[in-house]
Amino acid sequence: MKEFKGKTAFITGGAEGIGFYVARTLAGQGMRVMLADIDTGMLEKAVRTLKGEGFKVEGVVCDVALKADVAAAAEETVRKFGKVHFVMNNAGVAVTGSQKNISEADWRWVIDVNLMGVVHGVQVFAPLMKSQGEGGHIMNVASIAGIHGVSFSGPYCATKAAVISLSECWRNELAKDGIAVSVLCPGFVKSRIYDSMRNRQARYGGPVHFEDEVKAKPSRAYNKELVVTGIDTQAAADRVLEALKEDEFFIFTHPHFRELHQMRVDKMVEGFDKADASPALANVPRTGVILT
């Protein structure tokens, strides 16, 4: 994106954390910002704060797991600001546990918010941006945990890997409509992601507060430790702005995590080498279409 002034950003999960800081940063560039969030109290506070700083910001209550909510939020954004030029599918939640003990309801919750929330954002906003005829940019928020699986974080890692993959799929699909796609893969950033269950919808089991989780399972305290010692949220937002200006596709906040990616690539190369040397494949031609 080269022009920010007077354009409109729509940010899910914008009431706090990374979404809020990106909202403030983009508003600082002259953008009008719609914050969409499930947490009514934090949303009101965020809108009040940013309006108090002189920014053109509005809020809309929205559960990204519900496509109808995202569609209604888009309509509200058009009503308030006319057009939408940047969408950040940022709302995300995490659950911790082994494959044995994560409930089906929690699997559904994380899939519906982290994966379907992103799908809904694209299904609603890509046609809108196309109809406006001015192009646009959709940024999906994954995680470094989507690059490399992390023990005891199955639903989180799986959904974040899916968001990276979808972003790759959509990048070419949407380019013909002048819509750029990017994927943000942060490492630990100061936020309340460790306390995601505060916003778990009733249909998945309802909210649980972090203090109560720690009382039930003291080792959960480590998750908070990892996040609160992460990088400053403003630094992550500044990185997002840099990346937007340069139209970067993969956006990272923790360059030293390159090692994780390298480990994965090395393992994959080893797998390809094994296949190359495989007697079972000795007579199979190394040809065929490679799709991108």
Which residues sit at the interface with ligand NAD, rule CB under 6 A? 12-13, 15-19, 37-39, 42, 62-65, 90-93, 113, 141, 143, 186, 188-189, 191-193, 196, 199, 227, 230
* Minimum separation from the CB atom of position 3 to ligand NAD (A): 25
Taking the least distance from each CB to ligand NAD, the nearer of 134 and 232 is: 232
Find the DSSP H helices in the chain. 17-28, 40-52, 67-81, 104-110, 117-132, 154-175, 210-216, 221-228, 233-245, 258-276
Q: Which of 66, 68, 91, 67 is nearest to 10 (CA)?
A: 91
Tokens read off for 89: 């599918």
* Minimum separation from the CB atom of position 21 to ligand NAD (A): 8
222 assigned to active site: no
* Minimum separation from the CB atom of position 276 to ligand NAD (A): 35
Taking the least distance from each CB to ligand NAD, the nearer of 134 and 211 is: 211
Q: How many CA atoms lie within 13 A of 157 on its CB side?
A: 13
* Minimum separation from the CB atom of position 127 to ligand NAD (A): 21
Taking the least distance from each CB to ligand NAD, the nearer of 182 and 191 is: 191
Of residues 21, 156, 194, 204, which has the active-site annotation? 156
SS3 261: helix
- Report the DSSP pairing between strands 250-252 and 8-12: unpaired
Which residues carry out catalysis? 156
